[in-house]
Chain A
Amino acid sequence: MEALVAVMIGVLTATGVYLLLRARTFAVLLGLTLLSYAVNLFLVASGRLVLASAPLTDQGLETYPDPLPQALVLTAIVIGFGMTALLVVLALRGLRESGDDHVDGDRRGVEDRKP
């Protein structure tokens, strides 16, 4: 089980980093999403993996999962979701303004319109 989770986190992180290094905003966005999945799994695992037990705790139970990482992960998921949504909107906006989905915008030189 540990090996499986570790490999999953590793694969997600590696894929995420690879996509992050691409030049198009959509690939970068997917990369960030995969990276945040990896982070969330990692946070759950930081409370140790406990199999076949109560989800939180129960009377007379010897081993039970650590509840704190679960709370952390919930917060991280919510924040990551909001941030990804913002980035989607921003990427679309960039596409519309510069007519190009390259992360650097249109490289033929964009002048800011006068305020």
Chain B
Amino acid sequence: MSHLPILPVLLPLVAGALLLLMSGVGEGVRRSVGLVATVALLPLAVALLMRVADGTHLVYTLGGWPPPFGIVLVVDRLAASMVLLTAVVALASHVYAGDGQDLDGPQFQPLFQFQLMGINGAFLTGDLFNLFVFFEVLLIAFYALLLHGLGPRRVGAAIHVVVLNLIGSSLFLFAVGTLYGVTGTLNLADLGRVMPTLDPGAAALARSGALLLLVVFALKAALLPLGFWLPRAYGAAAASCAALFALLTKVGVYAILRVYALCFGPDGGPVADVALPWVLPAALATLAFGALGALGSRGLREAAGWLVVYSVGTLLVAVGLFSEAGYAAAVYYTAHSTLSGAVLFLVVDLIGRQRAAAGDRLDVADAMPHAAVLGTLFFLAAIAVAGLPPLSGFAGKVMVLEASGGAGKAPWVWPVVLGATLLVLVALSRAGSAVFWRTSDAGAGRATALPGRGIAAAAGLLACIVGLVAWGGSATSWAQATARQLAEPEQYRHAVLGPASQDRDLHRSLR
């Protein structure tokens, strides 16, 4: 058995522990070790991607315990693409933080690695309780990074986030307990097999467990009634952390995609399509609300936070269709939305640092030094986020709209998606013109050197967005292949558990 699937979890774990032990060593050395560990994720992710490119599922049984009794890690196309995306965004955030932001508070480097461990684990696991554990690992690192470089605003925002997520964790455990009580298994593949065979009497319990899970994932993904914590928290966080947090909402989206395609999909018997009536309306509301919030923001950071909500909304519209075309759009748009969200946070922070007094607020201030470079970066990031051609947001949005047409949901989806795009466009042009053009006559402010690493990180992420368009054909066909795999969950179950007719009485008898 190849140990490749567990390496994206082990590497950050070992690196994080090592960095904790190195507390006495100089920060430069720790930063280099952290950078090496972050860079090393890239070849690992690419290797995983190559292994699953032909449609195989890599199943890794921890400790050699056979599923459904032991815990498994499962790598399919979706999981491998998410791990690659994590590696790319993590590298950019780490490079950006290397400008000195990592020294604003203690222990940035180990926390960063633990955060990566949690994210990668959540993407790779094939077990519901294990998903909970990795959620908690990434959350505790998230709380600490949110507080990185303190300040009253961050503490206030962090208390909300921590309380909300602790409630979320409790709900997750209630859901896990309910599902285990009904089915006697927590293995995702096995849950999918058990669902059609449930007694009608247990169906109501299973449905409530499944919907409780949806609440938890919606909280992580910042779906509307549960997403109000996000803009304030992300707006208050340090930029390098906020860029990484753009990934965290995608963990929630990934969990919805994975669990509801695999366990509660169309072949789920009494719980079939349990999330179908809920996700799409909530996603449309999120989308509209995110755009309105961006329009009403008084600062660039706050606007960037709302734009994350907006892009998650668009993404969940695609997920909420629960069709193969919808999945394909979701996979493509996930990559775009994560990269563009991260780059926006970085660019906004670069701008804020150049406007000494005004910071990121949309006030009249002295003309900015380096306005040409920063203006270009902001312009490109804005095009990407708003979803205008020629960047990847446009292609992604077209896929979402087409998928909604195929599912017969176009009358609702098209006006909301296009209207929200217009609002975002207005919000971004207003912000851009306020920051770059409405300047006072006091002449150029004190010139601060542009941070080279910061520019490199933002430009690198923008290059990835351009790459998503330049190699759009292969990216789209990869997304379609991934969607096909998601739409045929029986392959996944077969890879984990073997043929469907396997004797189920063994672990039923444990009851």
> A and B: real partners?
yes
Bound together, the chains give a CA A113 to CA B174 distance in angstroms of 40
With A83-B140, A87-B162, A115-B151 known to touch, is A42 a contact of B177 (CB < 8 Å)?
yes
Q: Which residues of B contact A82 (CB under 8 A)?
A: 140
Interface string of B500-511 (1 = CB under 8 A from A): 000000000011
Q: Which residues of B contact A69 (CB under 8 A)?
A: 177, 180
Bound together, the chains give a CA A34 to CA B288 distance in angstroms of 37
Number of interface residues of B (CB under 8 A): 37
Interface assignment of A39: CB less than 8 Å from any CB of chain B = yes
Interface string of B79-115 (1 = CB under 8 A from A): 0000000000000000000000000100000000000
1-54 of chain A: CB within 8 A of chain B: 20, 25, 28, 32, 35-36, 38-40, 42-43, 45-48
With A48-B511, A98-B156, A105-B156 known to touch, is A35 a contact of B167 (CB < 8 Å)?
yes
Bound together, the chains give a CA A111 to CA B147 distance in angstroms of 16
Q: Across the interface, do A25 and B159 meet the contact criterion of CB distance under 8 Å?
A: yes
Bound together, the chains give a CA A45 to CA B181 distance in angstroms of 8
A66 contacts which of B129, B136, B152, B510 (Cβ < 8 Å)? Answer: B510
Q: Which residues of B contact A115 (CB under 8 A)?
A: 104, 149, 151
Interface string of B151-192 (1 = CB under 8 A from A): 111111011101100110110011011101100001000000
Bound together, the chains give a CA A113 to CA B154 distance in angstroms of 10
Interface string of B129-153 (1 = CB under 8 A from A): 1000100100110010001011111
Q: Across the interface, do B159 and A83 meet the contact criterion of CB distance under 8 Å?
A: no
Interface assignment of B359: CB less than 8 Å from any CB of chain A = yes
Interface assignment of B72: CB less than 8 Å from any CB of chain A = no
Q: Which single residue of chain A is at the shortest CB-CB distance from B180? A: A46
Q: Across the interface, do A94 and B129 meet the contact criterion of CB distance under 8 Å?
A: no
Q: Across the interface, do B174 and A42 meet the contact criterion of CB distance under 8 Å?
A: yes
Q: Across the interface, do B181 and A83 meet the contact criterion of CB distance under 8 Å?
A: no
Q: Across the interface, do A97 and B177 meet the contact criterion of CB distance under 8 Å?
A: no
Interface assignment of B236: CB less than 8 Å from any CB of chain A = yes
Q: Which residues of A contact B139 (CB under 8 A)?
A: 83
Q: Across the interface, do A97 and B166 meet the contact criterion of CB distance under 8 Å?
A: no
Bound together, the chains give a CA A45 to CA B104 distance in angstroms of 46
Q: Which residues of A contact B236 (CB under 8 A)?
A: 112
95-115 of chain A: CB within 8 A of chain B: 97-98, 103-106, 110-115
Q: Across the interface, do B173 and A105 meet the contact criterion of CB distance under 8 Å?
A: no
Bound together, the chains give a CA A114 to CA B150 distance in angstroms of 11
Q: Which single residue of chain B is at the shortest CB-CB distance from A28? A: B163
Bound together, the chains give a CA A93 to CA B158 distance in angstroms of 11
Q: Across the interface, do A46 and B166 meet the contact criterion of CB distance under 8 Å?
A: no
Bound together, the chains give a CA A88 to CA B359 distance in angstroms of 32
Q: Across the interface, do A20 and B167 meet the contact criterion of CB distance under 8 Å?
A: yes
Bound together, the chains give a CA A12 to CA B171 distance in angstroms of 14
Q: Which residues of A contact B167 (CB under 8 A)?
A: 20, 32, 35
Bound together, the chains give a CA A38 to CA B170 distance in angstroms of 9
Q: Which single residue of chain A is at the shortest CB-CB distance from B182? A: A46
Q: Which residues of A contact B156 (CB under 8 A)?
A: 94, 98, 104-105, 110
Q: Which residues of A contact B510 (CB under 8 A)?
A: 66
B152 contacts which of A25, A46, A48, A112 (Cβ < 8 Å)? Answer: A112
With A69-B177, A112-B153, A114-B359 known to touch, is A36 a contact of B170 (CB < 8 Å)?
yes
Q: Which residues of B contact A80 (CB under 8 A)?
A: 169
Q: Which single residue of chain A is at the shortest CB-CB distance from B172? A: A39
Bound together, the chains give a CA A25 to CA B162 distance in angstroms of 12
Minimum Cβ distance to chain B for residue A37 (Å)? 10
Offer 24 A-B interface pairs, CB within 8 angstroms, sorted by A. A20-B167, A25-B159, A28-B163, A32-B167, A32-B170, A39-B177, A42-B177, A47-B180, A69-B180, A80-B169, A83-B139, A84-B166, A86-B140, A87-B162, A90-B147, A90-B155, A94-B156, A94-B159, A103-B160, A103-B163, A105-B152, A106-B152, A110-B153, A110-B156
Given contacts A25-B159, A35-B167, A113-B151, 6 further A-B contacts (CB under 8 A): A32-B167, A32-B170, A46-B180, A83-B140, A87-B159, A110-B156
Task: List the 6 shortest-distance A-B pairs measured between CB atoms, nearest first.
Answer: A105-B156, A46-B177, A46-B181, A112-B153, A110-B152, A39-B173
